């Protein structure tokens, strides 16, 4: 395939990167056991509940399928 004169190459087959479908969450007070204070996260907050996804983990999976209460969400990176 060529786009605007440049060849397009597929490095990975479609769906080669697995999503995280059942994330395990820990309280923020316990996260210090395996996360650094300066570590970047992707955060989601709906006014009642919050979720934090470490970007180093998202680098390997790129998407987390989760819920905030009853609302399904997809956190992507």
pLDDT at site 44 = 92
Backbone angles phi, psi at 55, to 5 degrees: -70, -25
Q: Copy the structure tokens of residue 29.
A: 């007070």
3-state secondary structure of 51: strand
Backbone angles phi, psi at 20, to 5 degrees: -95, 115
Domain assignments of the chain as residue spans, ordered by start: 18-76
Distance, in Å, from the CA atom of 12 to the CA atom of 26, rounded to the nearest integer, reads 32
Backbone angles phi, psi at 50, to 5 degrees: -125, 150
Q: Which pTM was predicted? A: 0.72
> For 16-64, how does the pLDDT look when each residue is reduced to its tens digit (9 = 90+)?
888 899 899 999 889 888 888 898 999 999 999 999 998 988 888 889 9
Contact 75, 66 (CB under 8 A): yes
């Amino acid at each position: 395939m060529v786009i605007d004169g440049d060849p397009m190459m597929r490095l990975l087959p479609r769906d080669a990167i697995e999503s995280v479908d059942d994330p395990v969450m820990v309280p923020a007070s316990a996260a210090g056991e395996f996360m650094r204070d300066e570590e970047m996260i992707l955060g989601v907050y709906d006014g009642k509940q919050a979720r934090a996804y470490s970007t180093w983990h998202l680098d390997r999976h790129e998407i987390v399928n989760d819920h905030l209460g009853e609302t399904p969400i997809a956190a992507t990176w």
